[in-house]
Amino acid sequence: MFRKRISTKILTSFLACVLVVACSQNNKPAATTNTSPTTTSSNIAISSSIPIGIAVAQTSNVALLGQEQVAGAKIAEKFFNDKGGVNGTPIKLVFQDTAGDEQGAINAFNTLITQDKVVGIVGPTLSQQAFAADPIAERSKVPVVAPSNTAKGVPQIGKYISRVSAPVAVVAPNAVKQALKINPNIKKVAVFYAQNDAFSKSETETFQQTVKDQKLELVTVQKFQTTDTDFQTQATSAINLKPDLVIISGLAADGGNLVKQLHQLGYKGLIIGGNGLNTSKIFPVCQAQCNDLLIAQAYSPELVSELNKEFREAYQAQNQEEPQPPQFSAQAFTGVQVFVEALKKLDSNTKIKTLPLEQLRTQLNEQILNGEYDTPLGKIAFDPDGEIKQGQFYVAQIKMNPDGKKGKFTLLK
């Protein structure tokens, strides 16, 4: 009898346990449905703001350029939010530092895509970084608008990659033609380029081809690293060949030091700086030796348009010591503008708050490529590859103040 009661209790306990487990299992689907992580992660939470990623170099030797991009992006954020954002919903820029190498860009893109869940990305700063990080966005089907990647082949990385930075092959030759206007007697040309930077390697190819096309003699091609600070060997070798024109493809810090050392070693001819030197951040580097440096540009502060006027005034209000907004700021502003205007157009057709994130990103990319934009750079659009279509380009010459500390880019006609 005692054994029977124990057996009954064991059986009863077992049945109760089965019922508890069964009930628990039956209730799980209902609980999961009510708080589905899939539903939450596949839809963008834009009830309060729309996240747009900004992946640029805030540290490293590339920060001289990236800081200007941060400034331009922040101006755009305030500017467009003050005008109502995306049909009443504000944008929110999410910044990730790419530093100056490929791994930094890869890390920044991964974070923006998977953790911050941005609708798209403006960045990175360097073409070298774009070739490493853009394929990540392409695989994830996240639209990227490159603000300063001008090397050959960047838009062709994939259908989700476009750029508002005109390719170097279009912009760079203008500087050589302008140099010949200033000095028609130019015969010999020396070229310098940073061999560890994809953009500089692409740009120097364009410069060298332009030299040949203009029937000039290319007397030497000197290589350096973007991390170099001493250029005496390369500069002396070039000067000994008595060039009439020097062309430099590098970044602001290395390029500025090279300009300074060329002059200190006795070079007196014209110097052309590539797009990496197209920043007022170069002034403290080469100081008085920056004077007369020629730069081909895709942006001019002197462009007559209402939006450029507003952008220029906003930049000056934030940076009172620098009266001219630089190209890198203007292009970053334009990158954000492209996203905002494409989002507005898309939202007018289909409320973006109703779209799953993956679908929103895809439709946004399509809208970006099909849009036309009146920007501080002028009127732009994109071809099917995502290449910018831009009609206006410029050449400026740096004119330093007598104290050699400040200067400005003077537009040449």
pLDDT of residue 31 exceeding 50: no
Q: What is the mean pLDDT of residues 194-201?
A: 95
Q: What pLDDT was estimated at residue 21?
A: 34
Q: What is the per-residue pLDDT for 50?
A: 97
Per-residue pLDDT at 27: 36
ω into 173 cis (within 30 of 0): no
Q: Is residue 33 predicted with pLDDT exceeding 80? A: no
Residue 15's pLDDT is 36
Mean pLDDT for the chain? 90
E strand residue ranges, 217-335: 217-224, 245-249, 270-273, 294-297
User: What average pLDDT does the segment 213-228 reach?
Assistant: 97
Nearest to 387 by CA among 159, 229, 66: 159
> Residue 39: is its pLDDT beyond 50?
no
Does residue 274 register a pLDDT over 90? Answer: yes
Using 50, 70 and 90 to split pLDDT, how confident is the model at 43? low
- Please compute the mean of the pLDDT values over residues 353-359 and round it to a whole number: 95
- The strand order across the sheet containing 394-400 reads 217-224, 188-194, 245-249, 270-273, 294-297, 394-400, 407-412
Q: What percent of the chain has pLDDT over 90?
A: 86
Residue 153's nearest CA partner among 163, 144, 143 is 163
Q: Taking a C-beta distance cutoff of 8 angstroms, is the pair 250, 258 a contact?
A: yes
**What per-residue string of b and e applies to 324-337 under the rule 16 or more CB within 10 Å gives b?**
bbbbbbbbbbbbbb
Residue-wise pLDDT for 167-184, tens only, equals: 999 999 999 999 999 999
- Band (pLDDT 50/70/90 cuts) for residue 22 is very low
Helix (H) or strand (E) holding 62: none
Q: In whole angstroms, give the CA distance from residue 133 to residue 215.
A: 39
Tell me the per-residue pLDDT of 303-321, one tens digit each, with 9 for 90 and over. 999 999 999 999 999 988 7
What pLDDT score does 17 carry? 37
Q: Which two tokens stand for residue 310?
A: 């507003």
Q: Indicate if the pLDDT at residue 357 is higher than 60.
A: yes
Q: Tens digits of per-residue pLDDT, 104-124?
A: 999 999 999 999 999 999 999
Tell me: the pLDDT tens digits for 231-266?
999 999 999 999 999 999 999 999 999 999 999 999
Residue 46 has pLDDT above 90, yes or no: no
CA angle (336, 285, 315) in 5-degree steps:
30
pLDDT of residue 14: 39
Which two tokens mark 329? 């700021």
> What is the reported pLDDT for 44?
53
Q: Which residue has the higher pLDDT, 257 or 44?
A: 257
Q: Which pLDDT does position 322 carry in this prediction?
A: 79
Overall average pLDDT of the 374-384 stretch:
98
The pTM score is 0.86
pLDDT of residue 105: 98
The structure tokens listed for 247 are 């062309």
Instruction: Say yes or no to pLDDT of 385 above 80.
Output: yes
Is the CB of residue 352 less than 8 Å from the CB of residue 346?
yes
Span 21-45, average pLDDT: 37
pLDDT average, residue stretch 26-46: 38
Q: To the nearest whole percent, how much of the chain has pLDDT over 70? A: 89
- Residues 178 and 181: their CA atoms lie apart, in Å, by 5
pLDDT at position 413: 83
